Amino acid sequence: MRLVIFTTLMLFLSSCASFTEPHSKTLLMDRNSGELKDCTVGKWRTKESYDVYKNCIKTFEEEGYTIWNQY
């Protein structure tokens, strides 16, 4: 029984840890045409790559796209 409780607890804690990571991909949608665009962080996830990522989102939002999903 202890093993079941321990395993359940470890699965719960490991799934919660994923919520602390900042998102690295955003889908934006043009609500008029339904067209989707995406912005992603580079694979090294440096501060500079997050800056480029945020600028990408900002650029599409200025063009009329809205954030559809972030993960």
| Three-class secondary structure assignment of 10-44 | HHHHHHHHHHHCCCCEEEEECCCCCCEEEEECCCC
pTM above 0.85, yes or no: no
Q: What confidence tens digit (pLDDT) does each residue in 15-69 have?
A: 444 455 688 999 999 999 999 999 999 888 899 999 999 999 999 999 999 999 9
What pLDDT is stored for residue 18 in this prediction?
Answer: 47
Q: Which two tokens stand for residue 37?
A: 């665009």
